[in-house]
Chains A and B, each alone.
Chain A
Amino acid sequence: LAKTTQPISMDSYEGQEVNITCSHNNIATNDYITWYQQFPSQGPRFIIQGYKTKVTNEVASLFIPADRKSSTLSLPRVSLSDTAVYYCLVGGYNFNKFYFGSGTKLNVKP
């Protein structure tokens, strides 16, 4: 399983766009990139998944460059309720296996 590197923590203010970048230099051809969100005392929750270029859903966008060695999760106009830990995962094609790193703790301030 390819491992990932993310910033340990980030601060932002309400209404700002937040970009969290993840490095995955050893990504395999079949690997997909998936992001999960985890609030305290809850299990992680799926945010978005992609393979290349750009994916957008109702809560986030995922940007993946051509070499796929990194990816960026973009959260538009964050609110206090977006304060959480965000995990970047790589894998999934074979038996849906992923590796959770330590994640990025996002702190949104008023």
Chain B
Amino acid sequence: EAGVAQSPRYKIIEKRQSVAFWCNPISGHATLYWYQQILGQGPKLLIQFQNNGVVDDSQLPKDRFSAERLKGVDSTLKIQPAKLEDSAVYLCASSLDTRLAEQFFGPGTRLTVL
């Protein structure tokens, strides 16, 4: 079975520019997560979708970050404008359900903001 797909794998931008990341979850997985992982730290949940509705976005910096999951499948995470501290790996994960379900992670997008 195909895993979680993410693109691009790497992105380098200058501060104040905008960037978008794309995620395609495992087919049939209703729940989708975006995490930010700064070097040396564990992943931090930014936003969680159940189908196309938001379950939790309490840690999403909403003044610059936005995310959507149209039609309950693919998802896009956008940063506008980017700051130096946004340099991190952005991980997308999906799970079959919302209770005690194994999360399957994609390879991540490594963002460098100069």
Residues on A facing B (Cβ under 8 Å): 32, 41-46, 49, 87, 92-98, 100-103
Selected contact of B31 from candidates A41, A44, A96, A101, CB within 8 Å: A96
Say yes or no: A97 contacts B100, CB within 8 Å. no
Say yes or no: A96 contacts B97, CB within 8 Å. yes
A to B contact number (C-beta, < 8 Å): 59
Query: Count of chain B residues with Cβ under 8 Å from any Cβ of A?
Result: 28
Say yes or no: B48 contacts A32, CB within 8 Å. no
Residue-wise interface mask of B (35-55) relative to A, using a CB-CB cutoff of 8 A (1 in contact, 0 not): 100001111110010100001
Question: Chain A residues near B7 (CB, 8 Å)?
Answer: none
Say yes or no: B91 contacts A92, CB within 8 Å. no
How far, in whole Å, are A43 and B105 apart by their CA atoms in the complex?
5
A-B CB contact pairs (8 Å), 7 listed: A41-B107, A46-B102, A92-B99, A92-B100, A94-B99, A95-B99, A96-B100
